Amino acid sequence: MEITLDKHSANQGSIKIKLSEADYQPKVEAKLKDYARKANIKGFRPGKAPISMVKNMYGTSVLVEEINSILGESLNSYLKEQTFKILGDPLPVAQQEDKIDWKTQKEFDFEYKIGFVDGIQLPLEKVKGTKYSIKVDKKLIDETLENLVSQYGNSTNPEVSEATDAIYGDLSCESTGFKKSLSLDLKKITKKLAGKFTGVSKDAVIEFEDKDVKKDQWEAAFGLEAEEVDQVTGSLIFTVKNINRTEKAEMNQEFFDKIFGPDVVSSEEEFLAKVKETLQSNYDRESKVFTEEELKKTLTSNAKIDLPESFLKEWLLEANQGKVTEADVEKEFPLYAKQLTWSLISNHLATENKIQAEHEEVIEKTKQMVREQFAASGLGSQMEDSMDMFVDNYLKGEEGQNYMNMLTSVQNDKVLSFVESQIKLSEKEISIDEFKELLAK
């Protein structure tokens, strides 16, 4: 057997395998003899059929099966010996079936395309990053408190509207024939336009122009879909059907219990402290995720990994044959390439620094995920007694793929924690507005 590697570029190449009769014939003969011992052929007692007849009946199929087996084993062994990291799977170079004479041919030549990356270099001592933390200031607490007392207040339907109300009614545009019943939040439109909706009663008809509404307010205040916005042009009419007002909730024990649960806080001072603590915890998680994503970008840039793009696109199309089109692959490839690049970096750093995700860490991370899901659904701590069952069911899901995904997630966490301990990491405290600006970039 001869195996040769031809690197066409820094990340793509081909592997050629040449098989001679000595490579496959002993295995073919052994399997045919085994067939002959077990064969039940009409006219012969079991296991007594002539070997020549067995060869005639099964020889070609056994030959093809054994050659494919030898090719797979030889290719895998050869690739494991290489220093480069193979990506995807080797793709067989198409051969015309009529060029292979399975009955008389003794030597066979096969070729496979491969894509790879070779020699990832990532000197962490040269990497710089920023660790962001969001400051929960008085402005943010006041805004949160305002939202909470409004959200948990009592709803009423006054006779006359005010600038903080929501107006329910029919919006229509005569030029396009558009008409829709909706609720308009007056707090989310300009003060000038809100003035037209203030001091009005049920059945009032308000006329205005599309230019009076800022582009983002069609969705935020009127609740229109993107395709509906194109239908509201020129002169518009809004017919008031109802006025909805939410009276602010009182800062009392009933309100405290609604927000944090029974008797968690018992005074306004404790309530405000708990709001600040909760906000800080939430934004700590958000800033951590943002810091890590920015760090991934920095590491990706420093590693300068050149992916075999054309090979990977061909492999993705082949691996998902019938499920995706070339257009699908082109559209999704940037995200796939981003995820693959980070996976290569994470695995490289884990290998180089002996970082390994442990089973106990997978269990604990899954428990934390389940707790957060329960908390979001309002179920809370009462589900803790059944935690082991939930975790076990989740990790066994998708034929074990959930476990592998969580294992990868734990490894990534440990790799990023290690990176932060090794690089030049400056800390930066920012406001929530500055954080939003960073997210928008």
Query: Which class would CATH give 2-117?
Result: alpha beta
pLDDT digits (tens, 9 = 90+) for 117-170: 988 889 898 899 999 999 999 999 999 999 999 889 889 999 999 999 999 999
Percent of the chain's residues with pLDDT above 90? 76
Q: According to the model, what pLDDT value does residue 82 have?
A: 92
Token pair listed for 204: 């009032």
> Does 201 score more than 80 pLDDT?
yes
pTM score, two decimals? 0.73
Q: According to the model, what pLDDT value does residue 37 have?
A: 80
Q: Poorest-confidence range of 52-61, 136-145, 263-272?
A: 52-61
Fold of 154-247: Chitinase A; domain 3 (3.10.50)
Token pair listed for 117: 């990356």
Q: According to the model, what pLDDT value does residue 347 have?
A: 94
In angstroms, the CA 71 to CA 27 distance is 13
Q: 276-313 in b/e burial notation, b at 16+ Cβ within 10 A? A: beebeeebeeebeebbbeebbebbbebbebebbeebbb
Q: According to the model, what pLDDT value does residue 384 have?
A: 74
Architecture of the domain defined by 124-135+265-440: Orthogonal Bundle (1.10)
> Does 43 score more than 80 pLDDT?
no
> Does 190 score more than 80 pLDDT?
yes
Q: Is 342 left (phi over 0), alpha (psi -120 to 50) or beta?
A: alpha
Pick from 124, 130, 426, 82: which is nearest to 303 by CA?
Answer: 124
Q: What's the rounded mean pLDDT across residues 45-67?
A: 84
Q: What is the DSSP letter of 327?
A: H
Q: According to the model, what pLDDT value does residue 97 have?
A: 55
The secondary structure of 380-399 as a DSSP string is GGGGGGGHHHHHHHHHHTGG
Q: According to the model, what pLDDT value does residue 376 have?
A: 61
The secondary structure of 80-145 as a DSSP string is HTSSSEEEEEEEEPP--GGG--TTT---EEEEEEEEEE------GGG-EEEEEEE---HHHHHHHH
All structural domains of the chain with their residue ranges: 2-117, 124-135+265-440, 154-247
Q: What is the 3-state secondary structure (H, E, C) of 169-230?
A: EEEEECCCCEEEEEEEEHHHCCHHHHHHCCCCCCCCEEEEEHHHCCCCHHHHCCCCCHHHHC
Q: According to the model, what pLDDT value does residue 56 have?
A: 84
pLDDT digits (tens, 9 = 90+) for 308-330: 999 999 999 999 988 999 999 99
Q: According to the model, what pLDDT value does residue 421 have?
A: 94
Q: According to the model, what pLDDT value does residue 42 have?
A: 74
pLDDT digits (tens, 9 = 90+) for 210-237: 999 999 999 999 999 989 999 999 999 9
Q: According to the model, what pLDDT value does residue 370 have?
A: 87
The residue ranking higher by pLDDT, 401 or 373, is: 401
pLDDT digits (tens, 9 = 90+) for 328-385: 999 999 999 999 999 999 999 999 999 999 999 999 999 999 888 876 665 555 677 7
In angstroms, the CA 27 to CA 288 distance is 58
Mean residue pLDDT across the chain? 91
Q: What's the rounded mean pLDDT across residues 70-93?
A: 94
Q: According to the model, what pLDDT value does residue 382 have?
A: 61
